[in-house]
Amino acid sequence: MSKYDPAKIEKKWQKEWEKKKLYKAIDGKDKKYYALMEFPYPSGEGLHAGHVRGYTAMDIIARKRRTQGFNVMFPIGWDAFGLPTENFAIKTGIAPDKVTKKNTDNFRKQFKSLGLSFDWSREVNTTDPKYYKWTQWIFLQLLKHGLAYKAKATINWCPKDKIGLANEEVVNGRCERCGTPVEKREKEQWMLAITKYAERLHKDLDDVDYPDRVKIQQRNWIGKSEGAEINFGDIKVFTTRPDTIFGATFVAIAPEIAKKLTGKDFGIKTETEKENKEKIGVDTGLKVKNPANGEMLPVWVVNYVSVDYGTGAIMAVPADDKRDEEFAKKFNLPIVKDYKPAGFEDFGKKVIRYKLRDWIFSRQRYWGEPIPVIHCPDCGIVPVPEKDLPVKLPKVKKYTYTETGESPLASVPKWVNVKCPQCGGPAKRETDTMPNWAGSSWYYLAYLFDKKGFKNPVSIGNWKLEIDNFKHFMPVDWYNGGMEHTTLHLLYSRFWNKFLYDQKLVPTSEPYKKRTSHGLILAEGGAKMSKSKGNIINPDEIVKTYGADTLRLYEMFIGPFEQAVAWSSDSIIGPRRFLERVFALAEKVKPNGSLSNPDILEKTIEKVSNDIESMSFNTAISQLMICANSFEKEKNIPQKDFARFLAILAPFAPHIAEELWQKIGMKGSMHEAEWPTAQKLGAKGAIKIAVQINGKVRGVIETRVDETEEKIRQMIESSPKFKKYLTSPIKKIIYVPDRIVSIVV
Ligand code: ANZ
Ligand code: ZN
C-alpha cells in the first residue's frame, strides 16, 4: 500500500495541468463565468497565510463552475504601485521596478505551489508601462469629459512624508503610515469628480448582490441626506430636520464661514465627529433672524460644523440634537423644549446633499502613474496626445520628494521640459503621479485584453477587440476580496466603470454582480499577523510540511468564511489526517458493486454543492469527512461512487483528487469531468406534498426538498391517482415549495 506523499503528487499535477492549459478562459466562448479575486500587492514579505483564504475560496468557486460546463475567467495579476516598494527604494536606492519584479516572481511561485487554477496567460501588472498606458488613457477620457480637473484643495498634509493624504489615509488625525500629526494645507491638486456620480453610486446598489453590511458601508461613505436649506438672514443653513426650526436657539458656523463673514480668525479648528471630544466655540457677535418666529439668534463659530458639508452652517436645536445640547449647556445658551414643529418646506427649499467629496487624485510621489498632461504657458493644460502614451516613469537618482514637496519627477529636467503638443513652444510635464487606487479601478478589464492591446500603440482601432471581450465577459459574476476594500476600492472602481459605461466601452453600469468578503486570518492567539510582531505564518513552510491540499483544506475548515479566525498549528494536522484516510480509501475501490449506505454520498453531494454556493466551506468539509467515515465502514467502494466523491473533494484538494482519480482508473483529467448531481434521496430529503385540485385535497405526492414547480406538475399530470381529477387542462397552479400545490382546472 502506497503512502500519501503530497510533495510528490502536487508538483507533478501542477506541471501537468499547466501543460494541458486546463484553466484557460476562451475569448468569445459561450456560457462565460467571471470569477474575480482582488489582486495582491506584491510585498517583499511574500504571501502570508491570511492571503491563502480568499484565493482558495475563489479557486473553489472557479473549479466548481468549470466542471459545471462554464467558460471560466479566473485571472490574477499584481497591484504593484505602492508605498512599501517606494520607501524601500528611498532607503536602498534600488529601483522600484526591479524590486517589483523580484516580489512578483516570488508571489507567482507561491500561488502556483498552492494549485490555484488561474489563467496565467492573462497576468497583468499595474506598473507595467503597457498597463499604465491604459490607466493614463482612461484619465485622459475623464479629462476630456470634465471629470478630471485641477483645483486648490485643502488637503491633509503629512509634514514628514511631504505628501497629500486622502481622508482615509488619516487615522485619528495622524498620517496612516508614519504617525505624524497631519496638517491642513492648500495645494493645487488633480481631482476626479466622483461626486457627479454620487446618486448613481448610491442608487445602483439596489441592483447588485452585495452583503447588506457592504451596501451600508458604501451608502454611509456616499452619505446621502435629504434636507432643506433655510436662510437665517445672510446665513444659509442646511438641516435634515426643518421641522425643528422653532426650537433653534443659536446658529453655529464653520471657522471658514466665520472668517468670510467677519474677516476675523477666531482660532477655532473644525474636527471630525471622531476627533471631536470637546465642543468649543466663540460668539462672533453677529445676530441673525430666525425666519420662523422672527427671533434674533446669536451666531457662534464652533469646532463641530465643517465647511465641507451642507452650507457649513447649522441652526442649532439643543432640545433635539445631542451635539447642540452639549454645546448649549457648556456655553449657557437657551434650550427651548416643547416648541411647535414646522412643515418640511415651510421656510426653505428641499435639497439633497452628499457627504462624498471629489477624489484627490494627485500624489507627489515617484512610484505611480505619471498624470499625462503638459503645462504650456500659452495653451494652459494640454493633454498628452494618445499616440504618445504611455508617459513612462523616468529614471531618477533619488526617490525622495524635492525640498518644496514636489514629486521626484520634478528633479529630472530632461523629462520635465518638453514641447507643447499644441503650439510647439517650451512647456513642462505634470510631475504629480496618480494614487495607488488608480490601477485597481479598472484591472478587471485589463485581464480581458488581447495581449495585442498591451503591445500596440494606442489607437481606437485596437480597442475594438478588447471591447468585444469586455462585452463578452463583463460583468464580473462573483468578486471576493478583503473587508478592508469594501468601501473605497469598490466605490472607485464602480465610479470608473460607470464612466466607461457612459462612454459605451463596457456593457453594464455596475462592474460586479456579486461581492463577498472573507474574514481575516489572525496569528496564533488572535493578534493581527504582522511583520513587526514576527507572527506571520509563511504558507511555503506549511506546503513543505503538510502539502498544499492540507493548507487549502485547513483554511477552509478553520471557521465561518466571513469571520476572523486565529491560526492554530495544532489543528492543521486534522485536515492532513483526513486526506491520508481518503488516500487509503482508494485501496478499497472495486470496478463494480454498490454501497451499503448510498444515501450518505448523495446527501454529501447535495450539501457540498449548496454549501460552496453560500461559501459555507467549513460545513461542506465536515460533510466530506462524514462521508469518508461512512466509506471506511464499507467493505468495498464502487469505482463510480468513489469518483463522484473525488469530484466534490476536488475544488478543495485538487491534487490528491486528481491523483486518486487516475489511481482508480478514471480517464482524462478529473478537472475536466462533470460536477455530479445527487441522484437518490437521502431519507431526510424525501417529503410529502399535499395536492389540492379545485379546492379539494386529493392526496399527496412524494418528492424531494426544493423540487421545481415544473417537475411537480409533471409528476401530478402523469400520476394515475390524480389523472381522474384533471378533467380539463390545468388553468392555474400555485406551488408553495415543500408544503402544498394547488391546481385549478
Ligand atoms: C437642525 C437639527 C435638529 C439637525 C435636529 C439635526 C437634528 P446628516 O446629513 O444626516 O449627517 N449639519 C448640517 N451641516 C453640517 C455641517 N457642515 N457640519 C456639521 N453638522 C452639520 O445630518 C445633517 C444634520 O447635521 C443637520 O440637521 C444639521 O443639524 C447638521 F434635531 O439641523 B440639523
Ligand atoms: Zn502651448
| Bridging pattern class, strands 148-158 and 183-192 | antiparallel
For ligand 1, say whether the CB of 320 is within 6 Å of any of its atoms.
Answer: yes
Q: Which residue from 269, 297, 308, 314 has its CB within 8 A of the most atoms of ligand 1, so it is best to mutate?
A: 314
Which residue from 402, 492, 393 is spatially nearest to 163, judged by alpha carbons?
402
For ligand 1, say whether the CB of 236 is within 6 Å of any of its atoms.
Answer: no
Q: Which atom of ligand 1 is nearest to the CA of 308?
A: 17
Name the closest-CA residue to atom 7, ligand 1.
321
CA distances from 74 to 32, 54, 113, 400, 539 (A): 11, 13, 17, 38, 22
pLDDT level of residue 533 (50, 70, 90 thresholds): confident
- Ligand 2 mean position, distance from CA 378 (Å): 5
Most distant pair of Cα atoms in the chain: their distance: 96
Please tell me the pTM assigned to this model: 0.85
Structural domains of the chain, with CATH: 141-198+361-429 (no CATH), 225-353 (3.90.740.10), 577-672 (1.10.730.10), 687-744 (3.10.20.590)
Q: Which residue from 268, 274, 304, 309 has its CB within 8 A of the most atoms of ligand 1, so it is best to mutate?
A: 309
Q: How many Cβ atoms are within 10 Å of 178's Cβ, its own excluded?
A: 12
Query: Coil, helix or strand for 184?
Result: strand
Predicted local distance difference test score (pLDDT) of residue 455 = 62
First-last CA distance in the chain: 65
Q: Which residues are placed with Cβ below 5 angstroms of ligand 2, an ion?
A: 376, 378-379, 420, 422-423
Query: Coil, helix or strand for 515?
Result: strand
Q: What are phi and psi of 157, to 5 degrees?
A: -125, 125
For ligand 1, say whether the CB of 293 is within 6 Å of any of its atoms.
Answer: no
pLDDT level of residue 452 (50, 70, 90 thresholds): low
Distance CA 713, CA 726 (A): 12
pLDDT level of residue 726 (50, 70, 90 thresholds): confident
Summarize the confidence of residues 272-295 as an average pLDDT: 93
C-alpha angle 426-427-429 in degrees, rounded to nearest 5: 145
199-239 confidence digits (pLDDT tens): 999 999 999 999 999 999 999 999 999 999 999 999 999 99
Half-sphere exposure of 189 (CA within 13 A, CB side): 27
Predicted local distance difference test score (pLDDT) of residue 457 = 47
623-638 confidence digits (pLDDT tens): 999 999 999 999 999 9
- Ligand 2 mean position, distance from CA 132 (Å): 25
Name the closest-CA residue to atom 26, ligand 1.
239
Q: Which residue shows C-alpha cell 425643528? A: 244
548-590 confidence digits (pLDDT tens): 999 999 999 999 999 999 999 999 999 999 999 999 999 999 9
pLDDT level of residue 681 (50, 70, 90 thresholds): low
Distance CA 46, CA 713 (A): 57
Are 513 and 525 a contacting pair, CB within 8 Å?
A: no
- Ligand 2 mean position, distance from CA 407 (Å): 23
267-279 confidence digits (pLDDT tens): 999 998 877 889 9
Q: Which residue shows C-alpha cell 505551489? A: 113
Name the closest-CA residue to atom 5, ligand 1.
321
- Ligand 2 mean position, distance from CA 376 (Å): 5
19-58 confidence digits (pLDDT tens): 999 999 999 899 999 999 999 999 998 999 989 999 999 9
For ligand 1, say whether the CB of 244 is within 6 Å of any of its atoms.
Answer: yes
Which residue from 493, 538, 442 is spatially nearest to 77, judged by alpha carbons?
442
